């Protein structure tokens, strides 16, 4: 690139004007006061540049006489400006280095006023989690939270934490039996409503260890919001669900929320502690995270209705393998069938009678899918080897429609009938197999311990 002419450069035509370029009263400190004291840088008429030592007479005339040749005048003017430029160039270089060092020091030390921190900040809120179909999870949770309570139980066996659902405005709360079991003989129950830190006393109303359901009442309250139960018999595998509860008992009044789907239906599970076990049938399996403390809390569908009660989670298998994302909930249909008995203050004793089948409530969708000739009853999902059911010849796909003289409409009816029986009793089981109606005699055994 070629530089444009510089008006202050003596090599350009404008730079040969001595009256603009020379100031006799000032010169750089330490420089010779006349051209005779030191060689100077000369620009000749041909454009060549060279160092010369001018004669004293010529220099004297050049510095004082207006008739001096242009070349002589250029020598004086050029010398000061070149040396002056060189000096300022050095100073500029030093300043530039100092500025770079200062900039680096500022970078590693403290920010200056001219290097303010700049970050991107959004004014939009986070996007809401949604269930399939576009249902907002935060809206479902906001609607459900006022109807959910944290439960704390103190008894001779220690402290237990769980969750409950308000079902009446005057304080009736349904929860798992194992949540309040420690207070059955002697102990205290308190509940904390969501969004509150105040523990309210509660009283035990009814218990059902067979189905792991219990009813308590919050003392001296009225006008409370209540849950709405959905139709668990209409559930299908893959339906979206949300689990809410006092997970791990971390902080009463601040429930945890998890999301998942219905993974399976009609599960039979045996759960319990080192001192007691319970075998639960027709359970909803879900991959929504359920943890200790979630017990008794709601499993809600995309409409915000309660379709199950979170009850158990699969842990370590007998082989030592850890399970992943397998939780179980009691269907809302089972809970509703037990509430009248519980509200009446009855405590159901677990007699331990066990038939040996896994069942699921029948419905029109299930009947159409598998070609059942009936749309009600309890469908046998599997038969457990070595049990009375296996010995009686019950098969997978049989639909139980009656036990003794009781008509069976769903899986909950089977559980209720068996709860009043004891091991060794013999029942007449009415089943539909294809288009055939059969009556099988089944000897009941004991519930397994593990």
Active site residues: 178, 212, 295
DSSP 8-state code for residue 413: H
| 380 phi/psi in degrees, rounded to 5 | -80, 115
Q: Using alpha carbons, list the distances in angstroms from residue 407 to 166, 389, 403, 404.
A: 31, 19, 7, 8
Paired residues of 92 in beta bridges: none
Paired residues of 167 in beta bridges: none
DSSP 8-state code for residue 274: S
* Sole residue written with tokens 């704390």: 152
Q: Are the CB atoms for 421 and 350 separated by under 8 Å? A: no
Which pair of structure tokens corresponds to residue 316?
A: 């370590």
Q: Using alpha carbons, list the distances in angstroms from residue 430 to 24, 197, 385.
A: 129, 52, 20
Q: Are the CB atoms for 166 and 196 separated by under 8 Å? A: no
**Is beta strand 378-383 parallel, antiparallel or unpaired with respect to 406-407?**
unpaired
Which pair of structure tokens corresponds to residue 355?
A: 């038939």
Give the number of C-alpha atoms closer than 13 A to the C-alpha of residue 97, restricted to the C-beta side.
5
Give the number of C-alpha atoms closer than 13 A to the C-alpha of residue 10, restricted to the C-beta side.
28
Q: Are the CB atoms for 186 and 155 separated by under 8 Å? A: yes
Query: Counting every residue, how long is the chain?
Result: 450
Residue 83: alpha-carbon gap to chain centroid: 71
């Amino acid at each position: 690139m070629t530089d444009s002419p510089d008006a202050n450069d003596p090599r350009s035509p404008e730079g040969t004007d001595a009256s603009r370029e020379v100031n006799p009263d000032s010169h750089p400190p330490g420089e010779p006061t006349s051209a005779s004291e030191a060689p100077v840088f000369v620009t000749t008429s041909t454009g060549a540049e060279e160092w010369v030592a001018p004669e004293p007479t010529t220099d004297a005339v050049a510095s004082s006489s207006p008739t001096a040749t242009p070349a002589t005048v250029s020598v004086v003017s050029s010398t000061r400006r070149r040396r002056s430029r060189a000096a300022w160039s050095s100073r500029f270089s030093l300043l530039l280095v100092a500025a770079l060092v200062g900039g680096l020091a500022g970078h590693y030390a403290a920010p200056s006023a001219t290097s303010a921190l700049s970050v991107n900040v959004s004014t939009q809120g986070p996007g809401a989690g949604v269930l399939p179909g576009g249902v907002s999870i935060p809206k479902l949770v906001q609607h459900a939270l006022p109807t959910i309570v944290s439960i704390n139980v103190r008894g001779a066996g220690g402290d237990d934490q769980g969750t409950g659902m308000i079902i009446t405005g005057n304080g009736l709360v349904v929860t798992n039996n194992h949540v309040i079991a420690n207070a059955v003989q002697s102990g205290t129950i308190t509940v904390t409503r969501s969004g509150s830190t105040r523990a309210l006393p509660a009283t035990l109303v009814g218990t059902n260890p067979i189905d792991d359901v219990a009813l308590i009442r919050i003392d001296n309250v009225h006008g409370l919001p209540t849950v709405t139960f959905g139709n668990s018999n209409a559930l299908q595998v893959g339906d979206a669900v949300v689990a809410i509860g006092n997970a791990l008992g971390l902080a009463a009044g601040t429930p945890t929320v998890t999301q998942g789907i219905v993974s399976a239906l009609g599960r039979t599970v045996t759960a319990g502690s080192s001192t007691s076990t319970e075998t639960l049938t027709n359970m909803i399996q879900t991959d929504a995270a359920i943890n200790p403390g979630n017990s008794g809390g709601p499993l809600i569908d995309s409409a915000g209705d309660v379709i199950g009660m979170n009850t158990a989670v699969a842990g370590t298998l007998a082989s030592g393998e850890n399970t992943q994302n397998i939780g179980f909930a009691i269907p809302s249909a089972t809970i509703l069938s037990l509430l009248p008995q519980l509200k009446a203050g009855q405590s159901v004793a677990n007699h331990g009678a066990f038939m040996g089948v896994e069942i699921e409530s029948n419905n029109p969708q299930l009947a159409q899918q598998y070609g059942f000739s009936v749309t009600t009853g309890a469908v046998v999902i599997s038969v457990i080897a070595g049990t009375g059911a296996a010995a009686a010849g019950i098969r997978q796909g049989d639909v139980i429609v009656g036990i003794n003289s009781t008509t069976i409409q769903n899986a909950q009816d089977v559980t209720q009938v068996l709860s009043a029986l004891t091991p060794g009793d013999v029942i007449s089981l009415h089943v539909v197999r294809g288009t055939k109606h059969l009556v099988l005699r089944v000897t009941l055994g004991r519930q397994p311990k593990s």
